[in-house]
Structure 1
């Protein structure tokens, strides 16, 4: 259905440069806050346990509920834009996000933090897709590459600075400042958008909300998110709860698809997936999210738990990956504006990502920080050259009227890819470390000359203390093998992006 707008998107190409700059900065700031809140809380979880009277398993719901709300609400973006317009939607989303951030910071119990984090995710879910749509329709076609590159820099900045910023705030102030930090920055973004962003996307005849379809979608996506979030700690399908949740979610997804294809105005227009570029691009961004968030899981564990880095130091060592992404995204935007092939840029990006991740397969427990920095830079350069051209290819054949709905699907897959990446990498780290422990344990022989030399070098004799030290070292080495297996999985995800791009249509030249 074509949408009539209060401001014609074509007319937006005449917006003065200061307005475009203000819109870009405000949108990027809002998106940074949204993406940042996925990772900034990670390092604060141990500090939150005591304040909120929760154990280590219960406190993870502060993360799970945020992701759950994001996954459920993101596909509704197109419908919300039709009813309220992009300007009103992003303003209310930021205002609600900031309010829930403040309420999350003042929480004094687990139910409080779970409730406010869920609502924070509800309000924040539309920020990325609506922000993308606003920039697409605000900029003339020949300048959209730079706009998308700037936006992409914001989405990449959040996961990079989240751990280090969270570490500083938690140790120097309080875990509550992981939420309060959103307020001053968010208010500035809100004011800039209020004064400068035009109103696109509102329809004179918006679709009716399909409540039954919304119910099935919520049940399916909610069940999937619960499985991904709790599967590792509950041993996946060994848990009756996980099995029951999987059955319910599968049935709900089936009924949701049937409902979406049989009604005139579905909650999410799955018919848009008939556009091959959007479908393959969404799969590609899902794999990209898997690689990005999977890396953000394995590196902090490796650096803090096994290399002995403090949270701030670990964040600083990981930051060059974000710098590499910034550089390559800026370059990608300029190359796209000059007519460069998005396919070739993605091939180059995948190659750099593969190289950086392949170098990570050589990690051990004695490497210098430089071995963390340079593979991270290569991986970041690759990610920057993948994300923006992939967005360009995904929306090559999609009409402007369908851009908000398509962007909702696109970002839903990025969020799901991130959830899958976090779950799979966590499982690999746990299970492969256990496999390696069992395998190494079978080769430990009390009379082996290497073991005797190891004990003599440490001034140890056979006894409880010696076996405790040997067992601890065996656990560290087993964990290191699990980390290498996780990087191998992430390497395959980069290669899979390349296979998907091959089937996509080339982008139209401006």
Structure 2
């Protein structure tokens, strides 16, 4: 291991510590941007003159672009060098953040969010790769622990920071604040990490596979995003997008399974443990992220909460996770990871059932309690699932499996966002129609009229009450469906065989 010793000797302990802090900060910024816009969607929608449904494209466009770019990370690192790719990605992320903040139309904002996602995709795995490269084995766990804490802190800080900025400044600043951090990380990376740059080589890229990947994912996501506004399969455009996404996916799978150097190595799915763990991860992460999307919108549009307080309610889950993350890591060495995962996912499902009984009269503490208690279980499914999935593949396949895992997790958040908002909107319409049928407006109108309200005021008041109750019934339905999905996921994980021996999770991101 003389080569490794030579790399470690190139950096002094002080330089290594500073570099570790810069890499953790860069990871925090990218993870933060995944959730910081969630609570700001109503503000952005109002300012740009679009519906909140259209505003969610800001979330999904970033997630999809990031997911598409993740499989390219390994090729980019081999072709241009880890430090160079990290630096350019940070610079691009900062540039597109400024352009997002300057956007005046939805089209411009979505395009710039796609640019953000493309540049942000390599930052997370590259920061982890560089940490593994600059820290010797005896201090690596501590460095990776610091990095993992930023991954958990991002979802916690995102809604609070986004809410505070939207309420007190302007939504534009949720993007502008990335610029000084990006500039700091670019200059620090050049000053501190240049001695540990990796060697480069001209490596062939699977251009056909990449093109097919972009094609079918784009068709699928556009279909999911605009389907709500086009009455789904009643519109020929949606049918065409669905056919193109399905055909593109089939051709992509066939090509990747026969390609010698695929952009996404689908062969790892032959391992039952990996497949079941990844399926469980996508269901759990999708259900968890769905609540991060719908809760702040419901609180702001229907319950009268400011973006700041909506962010606090949303962030309580991730805050609680910070307390149990070290315990989950220690228990991994002594406990069957399938048991930890199954119990944790079932716990989150029970919390989702609890939230399925929320009413329009619920107070802050009534919402905060299940949100906070749910957070204790997060590390017990997230950390063991990573180990279980990577422990089910061959050591030579670990990097490919880790990249595929991150790709599926990111896609799950984008697809879940579209699906849950569709279900929420449909449930609202059904509940509103059912309540309208059983209302007895004559009695209500005579009662309100005796209080001195005009006919217009009475009609508006009844309409507001019906809308508020229909919205809360719809969100309860979303939570109930999420609970069922989580209970199914808790059972599926047992299809995976128990991992044996130590698992190298250094390639996970």
User: Does structure 2 retain, via aligned residues, the 8 Å contact 1:146–1:333?
Assistant: no
Instruction: Name the structure 2 match of 1:250.
Output: 246
CA distance in structure 1 between the partners assigned to 2:263 and 2:183 by the alignment: 31
Instruction: Name the structure 1 match of 2:387.
Output: 392
CA distance in structure 2 between the partners assigned to 1:270 and 1:427 by the alignment: 30
Match of 1:86 among 76, 82, 86: 82
Match of 1:175 among 171, 183, 186: 171
User: Does structure 1 retain, via aligned residues, the 8 Å contact 2:133–2:196?
Assistant: no
What do residues 278-300 of structure 1 show as CA deviations (whole Å, max 9, x unaligned)? 33332222123212210111211
- Match of 2:230, SS state, is coil
What do residues 453-481 of structure 1 show as CA deviations (whole Å, max 9, x unaligned)? 99369836894533432232122111111
What do residues 402-455 of structure 1 show as CA deviations (whole Å, max 9, x unaligned)? 4443222111111111112211211121111211122222222357xxx55993
Instruction: Name the structure 2 match of 1:474.
Output: 466
- Match of 2:300, SS state, is helix
- Match of 2:174, SS state, is helix
Q: Which moved more, 1:151-160 or 1:315-324?
A: 151-160
Match of 1:265 among 239, 253, 261: 261
Instruction: Name the structure 1 match of 2:27.
Output: 31
5 Å-filtered alignment, 1:355-370, equals: 355-370=350-365
CA distance in structure 2 between the partners assigned to 1:470 and 1:53 by the alignment: 26
User: Does structure 2 retain, via aligned residues, the 8 Å contact 1:153–1:325?
Assistant: no
What is the TM-score when the length of structure 1 is the normalising length?
Answer: 0.86
Instruction: Name the structure 2 match of 1:440.
Output: 435
5 Å-filtered alignment, 1:12-31, equals: 22=18, 24-31=20-27
Instruction: Name the structure 2 match of 1:353.
Output: 348
CA distance in structure 1 between the partners assigned to 2:199 and 2:450 by the alignment: 72
Instruction: Name the structure 2 match of 1:505.
Output: 497
User: Does structure 2 retain, via aligned residues, the 8 Å contact 1:282–1:409?
Assistant: no
Q: Which moved more, 1:312-321 or 1:10-19?
A: 10-19
User: Does structure 1 retain, via aligned residues, the 8 Å contact 2:302–2:468?
Assistant: yes
Instruction: Name the structure 1 match of 2:303.
Output: 307
Instruction: Name the structure 1 match of 2:420.
Output: 425
What is the TM-score when the length of structure 2 is the normalising length?
Answer: 0.86
Matched pairs, number: 501
Q: Which moved more, 1:346-355 or 1:100-109?
A: 100-109
5 Å-filtered alignment, 1:94-493, equals: 94-108=90-104, 112-134=108-130, 150-191=146-187, 193-194=189-190, 195-196=192-193, 206=203, 208-336=204-332, 338-398=333-393, 401-446=396-441, 455=447, 459=451, 463-493=455-485
User: Does structure 2 retain, via aligned residues, the 8 Å contact 1:10–1:137?
Assistant: no
- Match of 2:458, SS state, is helix
User: Does structure 1 retain, via aligned residues, the 8 Å contact 2:215–2:248?
Assistant: yes
What do residues 341-393 of structure 1 show as CA deviations (whole Å, max 9, x unaligned)? 32232233223312322221221111221111110112111122211111111
CA distance in structure 1 between the partners assigned to 2:108 and 2:185 by the alignment: 27
CA distance in structure 2 between the partners assigned to 1:483 and 1:458 by the alignment: 34
Unaligned stretches of 5+ residues in structure 1: none
